[in-house]
Amino acid sequence: MSRGESRGLKGLVVLKIGGSVITDKTKEMTYRPDVMGRISREVARCWPIPLAVVHGAGSFGHPIAKRFRLNQGYRQQEQLEGFVKTVQSVKALNQMVTEAFIETGVGAVGIPASLLFIAKKNVIETAHLDLIFSALDLGIIPVTCGDVVFDRETRFSILSGDDIVVYLAKALKANRIVFATDVDGVYEFDRTTGRKTLIGRLDYRKHVSLSYGDVEGDDVTGGMFYKVEAAFEAVKAGVKVCIVNGLVEGRIESAIKGEEVHGTVLVS
């Protein structure tokens, strides 16, 4: 019996590693091997918890996508250059992330989202989940990513890693989603004093009342608000969700293991 067969998908965790964590978003196509190496070691210590990983495109995807206006769908021939360059760039990042796991001794296989999903009006319509299930059954971590994908309505569209995480968590009946970002979690801002306070437990009513204001100029998939908005779809389906700082050592490991960790937990 293989390791994957012995544990099945019970207790599955879907880990989203933000593009701002493993790339430098201020410099196009700049990877952070030291950060990813440390994350892979944390993941290794979480065995035998079954895990699927989704990472953001960061500086490997957003700048090109923005330059060619890929978020608008196919409008003109010149955009095809941006489409193929984005696919190739994100594939390169996916390979580096996957190799970081393998170098740490973690069995992983990279599966770019452009090969997994077909969308319709920016929403996943077809998903080749057999690839994900087959990896998990073998005890191997499937590693996919935010990407530009074929779209049956707009010819191509940008599929955010956050949307992929929620889709996979619901489809695979995951126990937990861990969002590893470059901040500690979701903050509440006092407009009078300018002081910000980390929210330990966040419900949907509180979420929609917050002023996020964090959408980065090159981020074509939105910011924290859209991440949390998507995540609540998983919460509604009974999936536990937490947001932690992936740049602080140990927090990803603790969150995957279900331990109490400094961050934000979404509650229904």
Instruction: Quote the domain boundaries for residue 73.
Output: 3-266
Residue with tokens 């990803």: 252
Cβ-based burial of 50 (10 A; exposed 0-12, middle 13-18, buried ≥19): buried
| pLDDT score recorded for residue 61 | 62
Instruction: Assess contact for 83 and 53: CB atoms under 8 A.
Output: no
- The pTM of the full predicted model, rounded to 2 decimals, is 0.89
Question: Coil, strand or helix: which one is 23?
Answer: strand
Tens digit of each residue's pLDDT (9 = 90 or more) over 194-226 = 788 999 999 999 999 887 765 444 554 457 888
Instruction: Assess contact for 253 and 46: CB atoms under 8 A.
Output: yes
Total of domains in the chain? 1
| pLDDT score recorded for residue 67 | 76
Q: CA-to-CA distance for 83 and 99, rounded, in angstroms?
A: 24
List all residues 6 or more positions away from 241 whose beta carbon is below 8 Å from its beta carbon: 176, 177, 179, 231, 232, 234, 235, 265, 266
Which CATH number belongs to the domain containing residue 96 in this structure?
A: 3.40.1160.10
How far, rounded to the nearest angstrom, does the alpha carbon of residue 178 sit from its chain's CA centroid? Answer: 9
The yes-or-no verdict on residue 4 having pLDDT over 60 is no
Q: What does pLDDT average to over the chain?
A: 88
Q: CA-to-CA distance for 154 and 75, rounded, in angstroms?
A: 9
How far, rounded to the nearest angstrom, does the alpha carbon of residue 176 sit from its chain's CA centroid? Answer: 13
| pLDDT score recorded for residue 221 | 47
Cβ-based burial of 129 (10 A; exposed 0-12, middle 13-18, buried ≥19): middle
- Give the pair of three-digit tokens for residue 110: 């990279």
